[in-house]
Structure formats: structure tokens, C-alpha cells
Structure 1
């Protein structure tokens, strides 16, 4: 009798995918997980948050991405690792389930939401995996301890680091999918690299995955793709402007709620978050469709700040920005805030500092708090060497943190004839000094 852990569908199911052409599903457990309401919810969470306001094609969901990560892992273990002595076939279903479910806990517009309500999508991923959910019911059918194992892989605490590294390392299925998928849907060329070549030269080794030396140039291309995607897409200043406004909408709603403000459209879905009494059902009930509906309602509120910020987000009337680091120019930033307050625009919501940072490739630091496994090359003589020791290109950017600071504000005040001329001229002087 076939156990659920090894049960196969009578006929293979396929999803047509614009990045991988097809996503293949033969395992009954994978098919059942895709059908759960918690996984289907990911259709209603965009992969790139507010980026659709800049790159109009970026409407793809975390559902798309999760299927893509699963498919990459499936190809690695079924087409490349299968039959190799260093790969434990008994880990197969575990790594497939972990790949599929790795983003399960993301909330709507993930980063802005987490900033305001201090939630952690990784904690909610664990809660969904182990809680009273359809996903947990499916995983329990594999084995009683299987949900916990999946949680450990996603949290990077699972004992077999080889399994963890397939989903979370410096060259993993997660990154390989989102770079290509995000490049496809934004219409840019930066994120493309030869993934097929990388998959072909991946090899399982004790507690790690290595890349054959002959694939080094394909890996260099992958790292440069990631570097460019962060600069050009993920940290795009206009997308960040939209996120700043969204962040401030949620901050304003929270502040008004604490003041017992009477809403025309009460934020019922948000009340558990304001009170920090969030159940898993409360969390799962919120998606981007619900949030956008509320923001449209809030365009009609009496509160001027909430009404204005909501209208800006829905109608894409975003903030402008200047390059400024308030830590290096505290007096200039403080004066900017004072001038906005003087104009009757609360600087808390209308003068906002935002910073972004990326590390294209991190050097290996054993024992570091957030230890990242390096990319290891398997040399022709069998020796294993860290990538930056062999690649001068990677060595040039390894360990170099790039941080960008911007201050966002409604730039229309600079040309508003109703603003006091002296205030306007001082503002223009401050802005031009920073540009």
C-alpha cells in the first residue's frame, strides 16, 4: 500500500508558466497543498508590493513565485541530484514542500505592513504551518512531525544544511526565480541569467550544495543580475515613494484609532492589529484587495491627512524626493520639517526619510548572527573553494554594503503660489542644495 508521502497523482498536472514554461506536479501532497485556502491566498498578495505603480506589468503574485521556486527545486533534485550518493532521496518531499510554502506568511504590501504593525511574515509562516489550517492538515498526513520539519527548513534551522541551502542561501531557488520572474513582469533585461547552466553544474555534497568550477561565469552573471535588479527595480525611488505613502496611511489610521476618531468606514479588519491581539484568522483575512478597498473608503474621511494620503496612493500622486541622509545633515533635515509644519503640513507624514541597503554577495563569517552560506566552487581536482577566491569580479563587490538615503516630500509645494513666498524660496534653497 502506497503511503501519502510517496503517493502520486494518476496523471501529472502542469501549470503554464511564462518563466519556466511549465510547472510539473506529480506528488499528491504538493497538489493538495496548492489547493489549500492559505496557499490560494497568495494569489491576492503581489510579489513586488507597490512596484506596479512604476512598472505597470509588475502585477504578479506570491502564488506565481512560490510555484516557480517549487519548480526550480524539483528540477534540481529530480533531474540533477537524483541517484547521486551525496543526496538523500528521503529529503525529497520535505524540500519540495518547503520550497512551495516558503512565502506563506507574507501579508499585504508586506514591508509597509510589517513596519507599522510590527508583524513578522516568517513567524506567520510558522503559525500557518503548525496551526489549525488546511496546510497543516495536509502536512500532518505525511507524518506527525512533518509540519515542524518544513518550518525548520524555511527558518534555516533544519539539521541538513544541504536541504536549507536549496531554498535559502546566496544562490538558491528563491532568488533564481524572483530575479527572472520580476525581470519578466517589469519588462527589464537586468534579471536574466543562464539558470539552466547553473542547475546543470550544481552538485550535492555533505551538508552543502556546490557549483562545478566550469559554471563560475554563469554564477558571476547571476550575481550581477541580482546587483542590477536591486539598484534598478527593488530600490526604485518612485516605488519607494509609494511605499512611504502607504506606510504613512497605515500609521495615520493607527493613530486616529488610538484617539477614538470616528471613521465613516471603520477599519474593522485592522482593529486586532491596532490592539496587538491578532489571531491567525485575523491575519489571513487581510489581503491587498481588502486593503485597497479600505484605502478607497478613506479617501472620503473627514481627517485631512488620511484623506490626502489615501487619494495620493490610489491616484498615484506620489511624493518627490532628494538625496539626503538626516544623520549627516540633521540641521538641514530639521529645518525642512519645520518649514512643512509652518505650511500646515504635518512633517511626521509629509517629510519622510527612507534608506535602502543591499549586499550583492556576502563574505562567509562563521558564527555571525545572520550567517550566510557562501557559494562554493568544486574545482577539477575535487577541492572546494569559496567563489570570491576564484572570481575577481565577485571579489570586487563582495562584502560591500551599498546604502542609499532619500527624503520624500510633496514637491508640488515648491510651485504652489499659495505658499508664503519666503517659505517657498527657503524650501527651494534647501532642496537644491541636496540635489
Structure 2
């Protein structure tokens, strides 16, 4: 086992070094393009001589880089081969190679957690992964792929889902589960306290029937995006960054809207929080002098004190906060000078209660709730296909990213909707 750990460390070190060389290779390619342009623009022998000197230096650097890459790749291959042999001898079957895991006798690409993907992006190792390079090679030549559709590998899916959180306010806060196909989650709704008893007495069972089945499907979510054909010939780094962010941003906007207002299976989309809020948890308050007090009183609808189950937040549109509630966070004296704390508009709050802005909320409506009581299910497969005919004149290729998601509030009573109305007697 110790030998395997040492080999894994050596492989990691060499891959990090190889990632740095790949970044250097990108710089050399950029410099090569610059020199090509300079050669075309050169009009005198002196200018050509300067370009020629730079080309010679660049070719020397490129040769040295290729030699270092070849040496590192050879060392990595040898170390991985040695590690494979040791893993094959491991009777417990607990250790896996650095490149593959075996499932059902077949070798499958290694699965990477989102945190691992972030680290590999920092070191540059991500762009050297076999599955990443193979995917973008096929992406550039998607017409040659059988059925014209690609399944995005796990490591790129995790990068997409990580970036989705950069464009949303609700998705990062809800509970997320990765599944294959449909799923059923068992929720125990029994919140009764434990029972004191004698040492040998049997422990009583909680209320019968507290287990609730929550079924999830996988509804398709898709977005067509356009890529200039010149970009398809660009480096893997630029192409990956462009495609991944395009897909992530499109998915993010749709997911946040569905979390709030999804109309359910009848319309082939997730169940949103608002449609599922119990009628007893829907209230209205007047926008009078006691607005803030009366608004915050409604938190008691979800915070009964019976059970602590997460952080309660207030979700609202920015205009609602600015028009109705901002003045309550600023204290001024008779002369108009600020005497209290100014609101932190990057992290707004209401008397310490975190405020989450979301533009999908209606004006003058506020949701109080525990967002991790909403579960979003993500199907493991996300695919992408293309059409070269849609924007032929603009020299662009159309790519369609498709994923499958479902979601619903597993405890609808963990949310309350409050509507701010104009006062009856202004």
C-alpha cells in the first residue's frame, strides 16, 4: 500500500509538471502566430532578420519543450504501468489506477469531484486529461461521430455544474443529488424527541407512517448556442472555456426559474417552490410604517422552534428590497445624517436574516424558507450535438447542449410566501 501511495504521488508531481509545459506550449503557439503576422508585415531585410532571429529562438524553445514533454509522458506511462501491476495484485480490490476504475469488468473513465476539477484547472492538469482532449477532438469533428451526438464526460459535466453556480443565486443553495434514470427518495418526517427509559427497556419506534416517498423524473433541458468556426480550430483552453460557460449560463437561468416557479410533471419540468407552498403559508402585509415588523413576523410560519433544520433566508427581487425595505436598514437623524450602519448591498440582510436576490421573483413578493429543503436531481448524462446549416452564412456552427433535471420541495411547509400590498389607509 505504501508503494502505491508513493507511485501515486510521483504520478501527480509529473502530471503537474506536464500541465505547466502545456501552458507554456499554448504561449509558444501564440508567439508563433505573432511571428507569422510579423513576417507577413516585414518590408525590409532588417525587419526580416529580426523576425528570423526570433523564429530561431522559438524553434529552440519548442524543441526543448517537446523533449521535456516526451520525457514526462514516458515517466508517467511507466509509473502508471507499475501502479496497475500493483493494483492487480491487491487482494482487497480497494486501490484503483490513476487513470481508470473497473466496473463490471469494463474499464471506465475516472470520475472527478467538483473540488478536484477546480484544483486541476488551477494547475492546468485538466486540459491534459485524456477524456477532455478526446471530447474536444470529437467536438471539433462532430459530423464524424456516430449519430452526431456526444456524451459529455464526467469531468466536463462537473465543470459545467460548478460554473452554473456562478450565474445563479438559488441553485448553489438547494440540495443536489446525482442519479441515473428516475429516483425515489425516502424522507422521514418524524421529528419527535428521543424517549427516556430504563437501561434494558426496548427503544420505542417513531410514529408509524412517517416515511414519505418522493419520486423524481428526468426532464430534458436544452439550449442551442453558436460557435464561430474559427474558434473550433483554436486551442482547447479557449474552446473549453467558451463552450462550457455558454452551456452553464443557459442551464443556470432555466434552473433558477424552475426552482421558484416550475409547474411540474404535467409541463415536463420540476416542481417549483411557489406553486407547492401550502395555502396557510401564504400571507400579505401592508406597506405601512410597520412593514418590516409585520414582514418579519411571517418567519414564524417556517421557524416554529419545533425543529431546527437549516438556515432561513429571504428571497426577493432587487426592486422589492430597494423600494420597500432599504430605508429600514439605514438610520438617519433629523438632519439627514446617517447614524446607523449602511446596508451591505453585496450581502444584504433584514435584521440579520440573509437576503437572496433573484430576478425571477415577482415585485413585492418575498419567500422565507430553508432552501436546502428543495432537492434538485441531476441525471448523470449531458449530451451535445451540432448543426452546420443554421448559420451557414455567418460561418457559425450551432451546438445544442441537453441535460436532464428534476426537482421539488421535499418539505413544502419549510417555505412561506409573503406579498407586500399598498396600505388600505395611506
Q: TM-score scaled to structure 1, two decimals?
A: 0.23
Structure number with higher strand proportion: 2
Look at both structures and tell me which one has the larger radius of gyration over its CA atoms: 2
Structure number with higher helix proportion: 1
